[in-house]
């Protein structure tokens, strides 16, 4: 899959410009800016290129046969968003069950402009005692990669501002929908 991913990136004119964390086995991955469905495709390819098994939460309604098998193979974890399930607890349970896990979040929660990020990713990282790895996608340069790592502090708002500052320098497919 690594060679396949590199080949597809070459065809599309994209380049992954950094290496994944070498000494990190578990982390929350925050990807941005998220403005297009293509972000998932490119991100999945990048994870294949790195040999990283990224996981992501998806509404359980998408896991019908045969799509469910495909989504699970791609790293999908079905969740019931209609019930007031504790997604943080569910995520932490997955961290406990797996020796290695990169759980991917798009904190905007939508492909549309949203200055009010969902902070579930932060609470998952904090309670699972794992770092947050900031991953970017930049359509203006056709590049993407792992940027930097932060450990959640006691100040959620300050940490979110730090993450936004990092990701603000990159342009999504639709820049007007990007990070403010």
> Which residue is listed with tokens 């007031």?
84
The pairing of beta strand 101-105 with beta strand 26-32:
parallel
Q: What are the Cα distances from residue 10, in Å, to 19, 32, 115, 162?
A: 17, 22, 33, 32
Backbone angles phi, psi at 22, to 5 degrees: -85, -35
The residue assigned the tokens 């990007």 is 178
Rounded distance, CA 167 to CA 180, Å? 9
pLDDT at 53: 86
Cα 2 from Cα 17, distance rounded (Å): 15
Tell me, what's the pLDDT at 84?
A: 64
Share of the chain above pLDDT 90, in %: 73
* Mean pLDDT within 159-174: 96
Average pLDDT taken over every residue of the chain: 91
pTM of model > 0.75: yes
Predicted local confidence at residue 118, as pLDDT: 87
125-158 pLDDT tens trace: 999 999 999 999 999 999 999 999 999 999 999 9
Over the stretch 67-124, which tens digit does the pLDDT of each residue have? 999 999 999 999 887 766 678 888 999 999 999 999 999 998 777 788 889 899 999 9
Q: Kindly list the distances between the CA atom of residue 115 and the CA atoms of 66, 76, 125, 148, 158, in Å, as whole numbers in the listed order.
A: 36, 26, 21, 21, 15
Q: What is the pLDDT of residues 21-68, one digit of tens each?
A: 788 999 999 999 999 989 999 999 999 998 888 999 988 898 998 999
pLDDT category at 179 given cuts 50, 70, 90 is confident
Residue-range domain boundaries for the chain: 2-16+27-177
CA distance 166 to 134: 8
Q: How far is CA 19 from CA 15, 41, 91, 145, in A?
A: 12, 19, 25, 7
């Amino acid at each position: 899959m690594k060679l396949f991913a590199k080949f597809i990136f070459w065809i599309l004119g994209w380049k992954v410009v950094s290496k994944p964390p070498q000494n990190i086995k578990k982390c929350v991955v925050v990807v941005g800016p998220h403005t297009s469905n293509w972000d998932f495709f490119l991100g999945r390819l990048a994870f294949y290129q790195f040999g990283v098994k990224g996981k992501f939460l998806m509404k359980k309604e998408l896991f019908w046969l045969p799509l469910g098998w495909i989504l699970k193979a791609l790293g999908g974890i079905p969740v019931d968003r209609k019930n007031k399930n504790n997604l943080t607890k569910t995520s932490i349970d997955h961290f406990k069950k797996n020796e290695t896990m990169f759980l991917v979040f798009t904190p905007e929660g939508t492909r549309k402009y949203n200055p009010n990020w969902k902070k579930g990713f932060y609470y998952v990282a904090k309670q699972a005692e794992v770092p947050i790895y900031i991953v970017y996608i930049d359509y203006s340069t056709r590049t993407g990669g792992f940027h930097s790592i932060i450990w959640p502090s006691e100040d959620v708002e300050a940490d979110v501002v730090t993450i936004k500052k990092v990701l603000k320098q990159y342009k999504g497919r639709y820049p007007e929908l990007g990070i403010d």
